[in-house]
């Protein structure tokens, strides 16, 4: 049965909204790159497996960054994969630095840009040093806002700077995704940054911006709710409010609520099933349960990840699976 949204849109608009052409082009490229292997079991099966992986959100694993950020579905799938793969960091209560979180991101996307991780960490750390420790939940929700809405936030930064300079908001030129990536954000040390801008005027500008960013901005009603609670606010104060807003997290739909962040019954069941198949591991953990709960000080070497056939593009980054060892400060 077709959804009301599908019935209300012409075919070409629906296909464009769902970025079907992006996935068709990617599937054909992988088909041509691996045609000798695919010919052994048929093209139809390949397309079936490819689009099943798209629906399940596993199609973004170990892919290049340009593909991971290509569609809203890809971004949401990457956020969900990062949470499911590394939520044990939060369950163990571990605190990591920005660079350590970046290493985790690179395990799923070898060319993930450091700049994006730094911006997410800045939402958490504010005026603290960038090498300070962060909890998994704080970083994850800040990263969600920064990664999913990256182009929108670059435009917000431009509007904020113009408001601080007293410019007419109606003359703000919104940067494109390519030019906006290198725009300098407001500096926390500036006096004007600490003063902030008037929230009502800021919202008027963002309301127009949301109309232009139909598929890459938080719901305007929720943005208005965030800004209606204060008279003035700073740029990073706005980002912190977005990252902690329950409604925005629900609207995005990639992550569970903060209270359920450490619970993933389906993944736990799968892990238990896999652990049972490893001889001696379950017995040793049962014999010394306290030791099994302690995080390892020396992270294990991570081998090259196995990838399904439609992920079979070779990447130089996978040839070296070692992880950088970092020192932990004693408290």
**What is the DSSP pairing of strand 134-135 with strand 95-96?**
antiparallel
For the cut 80, the answer to whether the pLDDT of residue 266 exceeds it is: no
Confidence of residue 63 (pLDDT cuts 50, 70, 90): very high
List, for residues 211-234, the tens digit of each pLDDT value: 777 668 999 999 999 999 899 999
Separation CA 228–CA 236 (nearest Å): 16
List, for residues 112-165, the tens digit of each pLDDT value: 999 999 999 999 998 778 889 999 999 999 999 999 999 999 999 999 999 998
Residue 217 burial (CB count, 10 A): 20
Of residues 287 and 32, more confidence is placed in 32
C-alpha distances (whole Å) from 285 to each of 263, 272, 279 are 21, 12, 12
Confidence of residue 184 (pLDDT cuts 50, 70, 90): low
Looking at residue 281, its pLDDT comes to 52
Q: What is the DSSP string of 241-279?
A: HHHH-HHHHHHH-SS--GGGTT--HHHHHHHHHHHHTST
For the cut 50, the answer to whether the pLDDT of residue 25 exceeds it is: yes
Q: 96 in helix, strand or coil?
A: strand
Looking at residue 69, its pLDDT comes to 96
Of residues 4 and 63, more confidence is placed in 63
Looking at residue 170, its pLDDT comes to 56
pTM, rounded to two decimals: 0.74
Separation CA 81–CA 24 (nearest Å): 22
Looking at residue 285, its pLDDT comes to 45
For the cut 80, the answer to whether the pLDDT of residue 246 exceeds it is: yes
Burial class (CB in 10 A: 0-12, 13-18, 19+), 100: buried
Domain boundaries, the chain: 7-56
C-alpha distances (whole Å) from 330 to each of 89, 133, 297 are 18, 12, 12
Dihedral angle computed from the Cα positions of residues 253, 77, 176 and 208, in that order, rounded to the nearest 10 degrees? -10
Looking at residue 126, its pLDDT comes to 87
User: For the CA atoms of the chain, what is the radius of gyration?
Assistant: 22
Looking at residue 174, its pLDDT comes to 52
CB contact set of 131 (below 8 Å; sequence gap of 6+)? 97, 98, 99
Q: What is the mean pLDDT of the chain?
A: 79
Looking at residue 146, its pLDDT comes to 97
For the cut 60, the answer to whether the pLDDT of residue 194 exceeds it is: no
For the cut 80, the answer to whether the pLDDT of residue 272 exceeds it is: no
Looking at residue 12, its pLDDT comes to 66
Of residues 40 and 106, more confidence is placed in 106
Q: Picking from 22-36, 51-65, 167-181, which range would have the lowest pLDDT averaged per residue?
A: 167-181
Q: 21 in helix, strand or coil?
A: helix
């Amino acid at each position: 049965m077709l959804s009301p949204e599908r019935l209300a849109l012409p075919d070409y608009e629906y296909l464009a909204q769902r970025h079907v052409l992006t996935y068709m082009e990617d599937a054909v490229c992988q088909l041509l790159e691996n045609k000798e292997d695919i010919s052994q079991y048929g093209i139809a099966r390949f397309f079936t497996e490819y689009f099943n992986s798209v629906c399940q959100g596993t199609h973004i694993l170990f892919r290049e960054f340009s593909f991971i950020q290509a569609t809203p579905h890809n971004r949401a799938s990457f956020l969900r994969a990062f949470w499911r793969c590394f939520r044990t960091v939060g369950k163990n209560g571990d605190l990591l630095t920005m660079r350590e979180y970046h290493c985790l991101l690179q395990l799923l996307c070898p060319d993930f840009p450091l700049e994006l991780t730094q911006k997410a960490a800045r939402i958490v750390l504010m005026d603290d040093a960038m090498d300070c420790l962060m909890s998994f939940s704080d970083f994850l929700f800040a990263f969600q806002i920064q990664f999913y809405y990256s182009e929108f936030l670059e435009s917000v930064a431009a509007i904020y700077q113009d408001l601080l300079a007293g410019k007419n908001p109606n003359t703000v030129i919104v940067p494109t995704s390519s030019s906006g990536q290198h725009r300098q954000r407001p500096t926390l040390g500036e006096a004007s940054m600490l003063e902030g801008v008037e929230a009502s005027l800021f919202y008027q500008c963002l309301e127009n911006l949301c109309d232009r960013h139909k598929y890459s901005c938080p719901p305007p009603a929720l943005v208005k709710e965030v800004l209606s609670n204060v008279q003035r606010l700073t740029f990073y104060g706005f980002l912190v409010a977005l990252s902690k807003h329950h409604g925005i997290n629900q609207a995005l739909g990639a992550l569970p609520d903060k209270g359920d962040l450490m619970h993933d019954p389906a993944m736990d069941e799968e892990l238990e099933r896999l652990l049972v198949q490893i001889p001696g591991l379950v017995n040793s953990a049962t014999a010394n349960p306290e030791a099994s709960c302690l995080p390892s000080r020396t992270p294990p070497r991570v081998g090259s990840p196995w990838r399904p056939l439609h992920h079979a593009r070779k990447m130089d980054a996978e040839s070296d699976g070692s992880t950088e060892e970092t020192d932990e400060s004693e408290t």
